[in-house]
Every structure is written in C-alpha cells, then in structure tokens.
Amino acid sequence: MDIPRYWRLREQRYKLQGNVCAECKAYNFPPRPVCLQCKSKNMQPYQFKGNGTIYSYSTVYQAPDAFNKQVPYLVALIDLDEGPRITARLTDILDNKIEIGMPVEMVIRKIYEDGDNGPIQYGYMFRPLLKKKE
Amino acid sequence: MHKIMKPERPVGIIGYGAYIPAYRLPAEAISKLWREGQDRNHLPIREKSVPGPEEDTITMSVEAAQNALRRARIDPQEIGAVWVGSESHPYAVKPSGTVLAQILGIAPAAVSGDFEFACKAGTEAMQAATAFVGSGMGDYALAVGMDTAQGRPGDALEYTAAAGGAAYIMGPGDEALAVLEGSFSFVTDTPDFFRRAYQKYPEHGNRFTGDLAYFYHIRSSVTYLLEGLQLSPKDFTAAVFHQPNVKFPQKIAAELGFSKAQISAGLLSNRIGNTYAGAAVLGLTNILDQAKPGDRILMASFGSGAGSDALSFVVTDKIESARKVAPGTADYLNRRKNIDYATYARWRKKIVMK
Ligand SMILES: [Zn+2]
C-alpha cells in the first residue's frame, strides 16, 4: 500500500469525510464530484456521524498478504444512517453474536502495519454500540 | 518547605474521558502457565485489561479524547496543545499527538509532543497543559495518559501490565467541572524500573521498587502539597494513587491518613491491572463519574525513574451536565471478555514468527 495514497485519503479514513448533494441531499461516501442521483456538481463536504447497521457480513480466512497475519477477521457491508452502504471491518464482537440489522458505531483502529519499519495506518472499523441508545 | 505550583490564572478540567479495552486476562491464567498455580492465593490483582489486536496507545487515546471533547463541548479547533503521555507510543519517532490532532480535528494550529515518564507520563502531560492554559498561551490543552504495557513472559510484571487510560481537556477555571487548587511534583534519580532503547521489555530492580521508589515519592509529593494548601486528608472526599497492584495504593493511603472509603472509587487495579500512565488518571475519571459539586479530590501518580505528581481538584456544579454526555468509566469496566493465554500471546506479539 503506498504512503502518498493513504496520506491523501486520511480525512476519509479518520473521519468518514464524504459529501452531500446540495440539490437533492443525497449523501456520498467516498465523496464524489458529481451527484449519482441528479448529476448536480454542487456537492458540499459532509462528515458522517459514524452510526449505521449491518447489511451483511463475512469472516475472512484467506486474506491478501498485507492482512494475512490478522485472519480470521470480520468484514461487513454497513448501511450508514445517512444512506451510503460502505465496506468496513468489524471489531470487538464480544459475544460472537452478529445479526443483520445490528446497530454499529465507528471507532478508530490500526488497519495495517507496513512491516516493522513502515508506517502504521489508522482508520475506521465498526463495533457493536458501547452504550445502547436511550 | 517547598513551594507548591499554582497557575497565574485559575485552570481546571473542562472535559474528561476514559478508555479501557474490552479484553481481560485473569492473573490465574498467568500463574497456571508459569508457576503451576503455586502463587494463586497471593496474586497481585484478579485480572488485567488487554488491548484487542487492532488497538494501540493512539487508537485508545482517540476514544478517551473523543469522550473528553463531548464533555468539554468546545470546537476542537480551539485546542492549542495535544500531549500524550505513555511508555508505549506506537512510534519511537513521530508523536502520537500528530495522529490524534488530525483525527480529532484539532490540527493544524497546535503544539504536539509525546511525554514519557513511565507511569506518571499522563499527569506530567496534565501539569504541562495546566501551565499552557495558566500562562495564557492558549485557552485549552488536551493531555492524555494511556498505555498498552508489556511485561516479559513469566516475569512478575506480566501479571499486572495492562492497557487503558484517560484524556483531560484543561481550560479556564470558570469553565471547569473541577478546578485545580494546586499541585506538587517530586523527582529524583532512582533506578527502580527502566527500559533501554530498542528493548521490548523493561527491567526492574526489586530493591528499589517499594520503599525507595513508590512510597518515598508519593509520600513526599502528597505531604508537600497538603502542607502548601494547608489541608489534611479529612478535607478530601476522594483520593486516587498510582496502582501497580492492589496493595501499594492501600498501604500509602493508610500511611498518609486516607480511609478505605476515600480510595474505593479510584482503585481499579483489581479489575484491570496496572495501566501505567493511564492508572492514576483513570482512577480519577471513575471518581469524577460519581462526584458532587464541592467535592475535593486528590490524585497522586508515581512514575519510575522516579517521580510523583500530586494534584488537588475541587468539583464544580458543571460536573452534572458534563458527566452524562459520554460513556462513563463503569461502561468500560463492565464491557469485558475473558481471553486465554494463547490468544493474549498472539495478540501481544509474544509469539515470534521470524
Ligand atoms: Zn443530487
């Protein structure tokens, strides 16, 4: 994984920085220059709240080389509350119970260490809610 | 008599936040593996917290600081300093605070650097943050004490070396949920515990760890602080001492004249172990979670090397509304999952694969 690309996208990885269409209010993650819904180019920056629900999930046993030491791990499709569906890793599943539709929240985790000498990449993962919504 | 420290303008805590990872390794599991349970009746703690495989001092500091920011209710851009105290910074060179400042939205107008003073690096960062705000260099400063401590497999330290910590946003006294009355810092050259460059595990000298290190330094910092403030232990609602185990803080508290009731809220080591730079500051978050306006709180850290910071706070009526808006220390204490030694060894990279 190349360092410049990770650095360029750090606001997305650190903060779920996306955008929203000023015309039709469609949200995008990652951010897009043109709205998929109405083709407007009037897009405003938007930081997602980091809450969503699990649309689907899977356990990874065969991973790309970079993630090989971390298997097995969980990957999910997550529907963010604002609309977009994103792919992210799940973490801190304490009771081994995962359900479709389960609410999750974004946390910052170590995504990848480039060997013993390279940079450490941080970014979003999702976990079950620490505190149930009141 | 030595002079105690007080900032030129009043300073206090305007936001605080805890973080403890979810995983726990019982001391009994370590005892069983390395000593066939021979010492099972006098273990230093019941269980210790262990970070998940994707957690480190930076990720844990982020969550504690997010909790502190929620309570402080300020724009992160107003924070002028980001200081993380730890003995387990992920990078040897590249401050943990740089990543924190970016993720929390504090960057780019801020100073940022790492503090290192064994188990008192967190209170050291709080002292610096107090000075930064107290001098008027800025209005808000973020100070974190956080560790993912490691003990050599089979070593006495492995029972207790744990993970967790807390974040504090220091700000003007009139916005504070707890105002700092004064502090005292005590430091000497004592070789009780150290880790040389490039070494994974620390060395500790038994001759120095107790009387000449922990007890001498905490006794001194607390005694000088109380003299300077003209206070006695009975003036405090609660006190928290650095907690490398359960026995040491109980012993120093009794010696100084603090009761069991005064130290109960801040004494977490039996449930999570020694969180090093996170230990005293995490005890303080649990005290603040339960505090009432007017309560006076003493915090005394200890860092090997060696030194101790003693700080006295008085809680204000801003505590009530601030407390509810973020997860409390108990939420993290109660979120727990036991792991076995093999899982712990894999996650903590104790299995060398090359
Ligand atoms: Zn649109």
Q: What is the CATH number of the domain that holds B233?
A: 3.40.47.10
Closest partner CB to B62 (pick from A95, A108, A130): A108
What pLDDT, in 10s, does the model give residues A64-92?
888 888 899 999 999 999 999 999 999 99
**B328 to chain A: nearest residue by CA?**
A131
Q: From CA B56, how far away is CA B144, in angstroms rounded?
A: 14
Q: Are residues B306 and B160 in the same domain?
A: no
The pLDDT of residue B206:
63
The secondary structure of A5-66, three-state, reads HHHHCHHHHHHCEEEEECCCCCEECCCCCCCCCCCCCCEEEEECCCEEEEEEEEEECCCCHH
Q: List chain B pLDDT tens, one digit each, 354 residues.
A: 789 999 999 999 999 999 999 999 999 999 999 999 898 889 999 999 999 999 999 999 999 999 999 999 999 999 999 999 999 999 999 999 999 999 999 999 999 999 999 999 999 999 999 999 999 999 999 999 999 998 889 888 999 999 999 999 999 999 999 999 999 999 999 988 888 888 888 888 766 678 899 999 999 999 999 999 999 999 999 999 999 999 999 999 999 999 999 999 999 999 999 999 999 999 999 999 999 999 999 999 999 999 999 999 999 999 999 999 999 999 999 999 999 999 999 999 888 876
- Which chain A positions have a beta carbon within 8 Å of B353's beta carbon? 69
CA B126 vs CA B5, B129, B290: distances in Å? 13, 5, 21
| Cβ atoms of residues B205 and B156 within 8 Å | no
Put simply, the answer to whether B59 touches A107 (Cβ < 8 Å) is: yes
Considering only CA atoms, which of B17, B61, B63, B49 is closest in space to residue B286?
A: B17
Q: From CA B188, how far away is CA B177, in angstroms rounded?
A: 33
The pLDDT of residue B292:
98
CA B26 vs CA A19, B20, B43, B138: distances in Å? 46, 16, 10, 44
Query: Is B87 considered catalytic here?
Result: yes
- Helix, strand or coil for residue A132? coil
Domain assignment of residue B262, given as a range: 178-320
- Helix, strand or coil for residue B244? coil
Residue B354 lies in a domain: no
Q: Are residues B197 and B151 in the same domain?
A: no
Query: Chain A closest CA to B80's CA: distance in Å?
Result: 20
Put simply, the answer to whether B331 touches A130 (Cβ < 8 Å) is: yes
- Which chain A positions have a beta carbon within 8 Å of B331's beta carbon? 130-131
The answer for B 96-125 residues in CB contact with A (under 8 A) is 99, 102-103, 105
Polymer length in residues for chain A: 134
- Which chain A positions have a beta carbon within 8 Å of B52's beta carbon? 91-92, 109
| Cβ atoms of residues B311 and B193 within 8 Å | no
Does the CB of B163 have a partner CB in chain A at under 8 Å?
no
Residue B289 lies in a domain: yes
The pLDDT of residue B250:
98
What is the A16 CA–ligand 1 centroid distance (Å)?
Answer: 19
pLDDT surpassing 80 at residue A2: no
Residue B4 lies in a domain: no
Task: Mutate one of B23, B57, B58, B59 to test the A interface: name it (highest A CB count within 10 A).
Answer: B59
Q: From CA B60, how far away is CA B232, in angstroms rounded?
A: 36
The position carrying tokens 């996650």 is B347
For the sheet containing B11-19, what is the strand order?
A: B111-115, B79-85, B140-148, B163-172, B11-19, B178-187, B307-315, B296-300, B238-241
Put simply, the answer to whether B55 touches A10 (Cβ < 8 Å) is: no
Q: Which of B87, B124, B175, B181 is catalytic?
A: B87
Q: Are residues B123 and B151 in the same domain?
A: yes
Spatial neighbors of B261 by CB under 8 A, at least 6 apart, are none
The pLDDT of residue B53:
96
Instruction: Enumerate the β-bridge partners of residue B19.
Output: B165
What is the B333 CA–ligand 1 centroid distance (Å)?
Answer: 45
Residue B338 lies in a domain: yes
Residue B149 lies in a domain: yes
Query: Is B242 considered catalytic here?
Result: yes
CA A69 vs CA A4, A12, A113, B56, B198: distances in Å? 24, 25, 10, 17, 23
Spatial neighbors of B314 by CB under 8 A, at least 6 apart, are B178, B179, B181, B294, B295, B296, B297
Query: Is B119 considered catalytic here?
Result: yes
Q: Where are the beta strands (DSSP E) in chain B?
A: 11-19, 23-26, 47-50, 79-85, 111-115, 140-148, 163-172, 178-187, 193-194, 203-204, 238-241, 296-300, 307-315, 337-338
Query: Chain A closest CA to B54's CA: distance in Å?
Result: 5
- CB pairs < 8 Å spanning A and B: 51
CA B116 vs CA A105, B20, B194, B224, B303: distances in Å? 32, 20, 11, 24, 9
Q: From CA B190, how far away is CA B305, in angstroms rounded?
A: 5
- H or E element in which residue B118 lies: none
Put simply, the answer to whether A94 touches B103 (Cβ < 8 Å) is: no
Copy the structure tokens of residue B341.
């030694």
Count of the separate structural domains present in chain B: 2
- Helix, strand or coil for residue B258? coil
Closest partner CB to A10 (pick from B102, B332, B353): B102
Q: Are residues B143 and B235 in the same domain?
A: no
CA atoms within 13 A on the CB side of B111: 16
Q: Delimit the domains of chain A by residue range.
A: 3-128
Please enumerate, as own/partner, the contacts of A59-68 that have beta carbons within 8 Å and a separation of 24 or more: A66/A1, A66/A112, A67/A112
Q: What mean pLDDT value characterizes chain A? A: 93
What is the A39 CA–ligand 1 centroid distance (Å)?
Answer: 6
Q: From CA A37, how far away is CA B33, in angstroms rounded?
A: 60
pLDDT surpassing 70 at residue A1: no
Q: Are residues B134 and B205 in the same domain?
A: no
**With pLDDT > 90 as the criterion, what percentage of chain A qualifies?**
78
Q: From CA A55, how far away is CA A2, in angstroms rounded?
A: 30
Q: Are residues B117 and B212 in the same domain?
A: no
Task: Mutate one of A60, A67, A69, A109 to test the B interface: name it (highest B CB count within 10 A).
Answer: A109
- Which chain B positions have a beta carbon within 8 Å of A95's beta carbon? 337
Considering only CA atoms, which of B243, B247, B238, B75 is closest in space to residue B145?
A: B243
- Which chain A positions have a beta carbon within 8 Å of B22's beta carbon? 92, 94
- Which chain A positions have a beta carbon within 8 Å of B98's beta carbon? none
The pLDDT of residue B196:
86
The position carrying tokens 């043109």 is A34
Average pLDDT over residues A44-69: 94
pLDDT surpassing 90 at residue A134: no
Query: Chain B closest CA to A122's CA: distance in Å?
Result: 8
Copy the structure tokens of residue B289.
């979670």
Q: Are residues B172 and B183 in the same domain?
A: no
Closest partner CB to A108 (pick from B53, B103, B336): B103
What's the distance, Cα to Cα, between the start and end of chain A in Å?
41
The pLDDT of residue A132:
65
CA B81 vs CA A1, A17, B126, B309: distances in Å? 31, 24, 11, 20
Q: Are residues B101 and B204 in the same domain?
A: no
Query: Chain B closest CA to A89's CA: distance in Å?
Result: 11
Q: Are residues B108 and B139 in the same domain?
A: yes
